[in-house]
Structure 1
Amino acid sequence: MKAEEIHIENPPAIEGLKFRHFAGKSDYPKMLTILEKASEADDDDFASTLEDLEHDYSHLTNCDPKEDMILAEVNGETVAYGRVSWHLIDKNKNRIYSQFIKIIAEWRYMGIEQAMMGWNEKRLQIIAAEHPNDGKRFYQTYSLENKAELNAILKDMGYEPTRYFFEMNRPLDEIPEAVLPEGIVVRPAKESDYRKIWDASIEAFRDHWGFSQPEEEDYISYSTSRYFQPDLWQVAWDGDEVVASVLNYIDEEYNKKFNKKCGWTEEISTRREWRRKGIASALIARSMKMLKDLGMTTVALGVDTENPSGALQLYEGLGYEKIRTMITFRKEMNA
Structure 2
Amino acid sequence: MAGRRVIRLRRSLAGPGPEPVWPAGIRPIPFEPERHAGQVHALLVEAYSRGGGTVEPFAIWWPSLRGDSEYDPALVFIAADGAGEVLGVAQCWTSAFVKDLAVAPSMRRQGLGSALLHHAFRVFRERGAGEIALKVDADNPSGALRLYRSLGFEEVEAYRLD
TM-score (norm 1): 0.45
Out of 237, 240, 244, the position equivalent to 2:88 is: 244
**Which blocks of at least 5 consecutive residues in structure 1 are unaligned?**
1-159, 252-262, 330-335
In the TM superposition, residue 211 of structure 1 has moved relative to its aligned partner by 4.2
Partner of 2:112: 279
Q: Work out the percentage of aligned pairs sharing the same amino acid.
A: 27
Query: Bigger CA drift: 215-224 or 271-280?
Result: 215-224
Question: What amino acid sits opposite 1:304 in the alignment?
Answer: D
Q: Aligned pairs, how many?
A: 159
CA RMSD of aligned residues (A): 1.8
Pair 1:299-2:132 in alignment? yes
Change in CA separation of 1:212 and 1:300 when aligned onto 2, cut-off 3 Å: closer
Partner of 1:226: 69
Work out which of the two has the higher radius of gyration on C-alpha atoms and give 1 or 2.
1
8 Å CA contact 1:250, 1:264 repeated in 2: yes
Pair 1:317-2:150 in alignment? yes
Alignment of 1:132-281 (within 5 A): 160-173=1-14, 174-192=16-34, 193-209=36-52, 211=54, 214=57, 216-238=59-81, 239-251=83-95, 263-281=96-114
8 Å CA contact 1:246, 1:265 repeated in 2: yes
SS state at 2:135 partner: strand
TM-score (norm 2): 0.89
Q: Which runs of 4+ in 1 moved over 3 A?
A: 209-213
8 Å CA contact 1:178, 1:283 repeated in 2: yes
Change in CA separation of 1:234 and 1:218 when aligned onto 2, cut-off 3 Å: closer
Task: Tell me the alpha carbon deviations over residues 221-246 of structure 1, each in whole angstroms, 9 at most, x when there is no partner.
Answer: 22221232111121110122110010
8 Å CA contact 2:55, 2:61 repeated in 1: no
Distance 2:55 2:64 in 1: 16
8 Å CA contact 1:163, 1:328 repeated in 2: yes
**Which blocks of at least 5 consecutive residues in structure 2 are unaligned?**
none
Change in CA separation of 1:181 and 1:249 when aligned onto 2, cut-off 3 Å: same
8 Å CA contact 2:38, 2:58 repeated in 1: no
Change in CA separation of 1:213 and 1:297 when aligned onto 2, cut-off 3 Å: closer
In the TM superposition, residue 176 of structure 1 has moved relative to its aligned partner by 3.3
